[in-house]
Amino acid sequence: DASHRFERGVDFGGTRRALERASRLVLDICGGRAGPVSEAMAKLPERHEVRLRPARVARVLGVALSAGRIGELFARLDLSFRRDGDDFVVMAPSYRFDIEIEEDLIEELARLHGYENIPSSSPVALMAMLPQTEETRPLARLRQIIADCGYQEVVNFAFVEEAWERDFADNSKLIRLANPIASQLSVMRSTLIGGLVANLATNLKRRQARARFFETGRCFFRDERGEPVAGFRQPWTLTALAYGAAFPEQWGCVARNVDFFDVKGDLERLLAPRTASFEKAGHPALHPGRSARIVLDGRAIGFVGELHPQWQQKYELPLAPVLFEVDLDALVIAGLAHYAEVSRQPLVIRDMAIVVDQEVELQLLIDGMVASRPEIVREIKLFDLYAGRGVEAGKKSLAFRIMMQDTQKTLQEVEVDAAMQHLMTYLRETFAAQLRV
């Protein structure tokens, strides 16, 4: 009762009326004579006039009320008013604390006029269809692509455990919370990996042996040039994690666990039609020999790889999940398609097998071949990697498929041989490669 009274307010003008009524009853019943009245008055609330515009009533309610109808309803509500042109200037009684603005009066008019008397109508808004640019992709499209790869979206807190930041990001410049909601969630995240690993651990405890998760969200870094909050940089990031069997249980394929190349393929689908390169690089969260830096248009945009064995053991994971984390700003750029003439000339395919040192990075080798290839070479694909019997110790065999074509004429044998010799010469001089026969 008290809360309801304080919410609605107490009628400061009702004291005098109540006193006079009580005195009248006492005199009528008991007789006697009333004495003088002593009145001690504090500062009382001020009541302000509220202006009501009939045009505003029609716009808000969707029905036009005449001036006579509005005056009639105000009289029923015991609201005193005066006219100022077309407007009504209303002084609410002392017991109506709920009438402060124009919309309060409109609400009272709707209630007394009857909601059933207000016709139903669809709202009308002037809208224009804006063209979608082909150069960028909305976040919803990126979410749909990664979801089509079998991943489920999760949403985690932006504040995380301090141990996650030290383990997965090697972050010593922690952004601590002044008033964390829980003692363990005390710092702002600089990577989304910790939340996904925790999601995976929770699912494993509930006997979910196969998991695919992704999350989009902000990460937080100390940066004096940061905007819009000075001293902090807040980039958007997309992180995905895959664990367990590569495919749902079925009879049509051999069961195997997800590996680096499965997740790399999902990442390439997310980047398409743009093509990224992958460089050998370390990361505190990832296996040192099974991870790579993602480079797009000459800029590092993220990383991909298996979880480091140390963290796999610490967080009690039976298998190492494979994950990637990418700068979202790089993903939203779609890249425009470039059309080329479809050649009517036949395609020539040649295979080349070479032997190089085990330390030679495949990405550097392929990038070099593509950069130095003759004009007639359309595509270079690696289709076999072998090391073992028949190959010298410390060496590996790489087999490439070279596709050549001219848009204007049929290639001659001498042109094909010259192109193959050009590539072999480059490999020999740059990587000390030997032709495998």
The answer to whether domain 348-435 has CATH 3.30.70.380 is yes
Does 44 score more than 70 pLDDT?
yes
pLDDT at residue number 388: 86
pLDDT per position as a tens digit, 124-157? 788 888 887 778 888 999 999 999 999 999 999 9
Q: How confident is the model at residue 31 (pLDDT cuts 50, 70, 90)?
A: confident
The mean predicted confidence, pLDDT, of the chain is 88
pLDDT at residue number 342: 82
Sign of the alpha-carbon torsion through 251, 254, 260, 261? negative
Q: What is the CA radius of gyration of the chain?
A: 38
pLDDT at residue number 1: 53
pLDDT at residue number 4: 55
Q: How far apart are CA 355 and CA 434, in angstroms?
A: 5
Does 230 score more than 80 pLDDT?
no
- Write out the residue limits of the CATH 3.30.930.10 domain(s) in the chain: 139-332
pLDDT at residue number 3: 62
Find the mean pLDDT for residues 316-343: 87
Question: Pick the residue with more confidence: 223 or 382?
Answer: 382
- Phi-psi region at 426: left, alpha or beta (left = phi > 0; alpha = psi -120 to 50): alpha
pLDDT per position as a tens digit, 91-111? 888 778 788 889 999 999 999
Find the mean pLDDT for residues 312-328: 94
Residues with Cβ < 8 Å from 374, sequence gap 6 or more? 418, 419, 422, 423
Question: Pick the residue with more confidence: 437 or 59?
Answer: 59
pLDDT per position as a tens digit, 361-415? 888 899 899 999 999 999 999 999 998 888 888 999 999 999 999 988 999 999 9
- E runs forming strands in 106-204: 152-153, 159-160, 187-188
Phi, psi of 426, rounded to the nearest 5 degrees: -60, -45
Is this prediction's pTM over 0.85?
Answer: no
Does 304 score more than 90 pLDDT?
yes
Give the burial string for 68-85 (b: 16+ CB within 10 Å, else e). Answer: eebeebbeebebebeeee
Q: How confident is the model at residue 2 (pLDDT cuts 50, 70, 90)?
A: low
Bridge-based pairing of strands 152-153 and 211-218 is parallel
Q: CATH: 3.30.930.10, 3.40.50.300, 3.90.1150.10, 3.40.190.10. Which one for 139-332? A: 3.30.930.10
CATH architecture, domain 2-35+45-117: 2-Layer Sandwich (3.30)
| Residues in the chain, overall count | 437
Nearest to 270, CA basis, from 243, 240, 312: 240
pLDDT at residue number 333: 84
Find the mean pLDDT for residues 158-163: 91
pLDDT at residue number 141: 92
Burial class (CB in 10 A: 0-12, 13-18, 19+), 326: buried
- Identify the top-confidence range among 17-31, 218-232, 397-411: 397-411
Determine what percent of the chain is predicted with pLDDT higher than 70: 97
